[in-house]
Copies of this chain bind each other. A is one copy, B any other.
Amino acid sequence: MVKHSSPAVTEVDLVERIRRLAALPRGGGLVLGIGDDCAICRPRGAAEDLLFTTDMLIEGAHFLPATHRPEDLGWKALARGISDIAAMGGEPRFCLVSLALAPQADGKWVDAFYRGLLRLARREGVALIGGDLARGPQFMCDIVVCGAVPRGQALLRSGARPGDAIYVSGALGGSAAGLERGAGRAWRRHLRPEPRLALGRFLRCLGSTAAMDLSDGLSLDLHRLCRASRVKAEISAPPIYPGATLRQALDGGEDYELLFTAPPRVKVPPEFEGLPLTQIGTMRRGAPSVDLDGAPLPPRGWDHFRKR
């Protein structure tokens, strides 16, 4: 939705650039830095690793104020962070919320935003422990969610191996279809995504080799997983949300289902708590890339920095 005329720098390029600049220092209890769903830190003497993820929600870039109520924005802002914790097989603990408020946002608006956010927070046992507040020309929110996982057991993007089966939970494209339609079940799904926390923990215990959440579209996110694991993915069409198109299922983004891999010896059940788990393909040796039914699938999902 954001128009810009900057040089054609992509998000992947920028993240690589920052990662090179930032070169993680040894020691200090850091296990994993830039490039996965969460960063991982290991406090001295602790039995569990802490997961950290941060997500922005910007008016005009991520939503339009005419169609998104403050309650929904609060829910969604937190759901996106919790989804990153789910993708690592963790449980969320607390969050910090920074808000830049648009001039027209009054106390009632702020209350509604926090009502939506805290409804999800209470259900998932997440404490709101801090944040920052400022005026801005438009609404902007940045949320940090901290979660925990047993020491050394976080599910990473980098664990997939050649021969692993590739799975997705649920059906894809619902959020994109809902955004297009602006009403109905798919629209509610777009407004109030459901992070797959229980599934993430189940996959960690089951022996899944890699996982990530589908936030920017299967074609881009699977490409990222392949890069992190240095493997090539061969897939068929994923399950499509009722009423969505194949294009929306591949490139739509914001489904917040889990994408994961498991070696052939691991028996992945056909569903988990009513949510279908579908094998869509297999990892192969080869340069990181994705093939759909034998033809290259370009990473067309959501990238803030690609020209549109």
Contact = CB atoms under 8 A, between A and B. Distances in A.
A58 interface: yes
Contacts of A43: 43, 46, 48, 50, 148
A114 B21 CA distance: 8
A55 B2 contact: no
Contacts of A54: 96, 98, 130-132, 142, 144
* Number of chain copies forming the complex: 2
A44 interface: yes
Interface string A270-308: 000000000000000000000000000000000011000
Contacts of A48: 43-44
Please tell me the size bucket of the interface on A.
Answer: 35 or more
A125 interface: yes
Contacts of A94: 28, 30, 39, 41
Given A28-B125, A115-B21, A128-B22, A96 B39 contact: yes
Interface of A: 2-7, 9, 11, 13-15, 17-18, 21-22, 24-25, 28-30, 32-34, 38-39, 41, 43-48, 50, 52-56, 58, 60-62, 93-94, 96, 98, 100, 103-107, 110-111, 114-115, 118, 125, 127-138, 140, 142, 144, 146, 148, 304-305
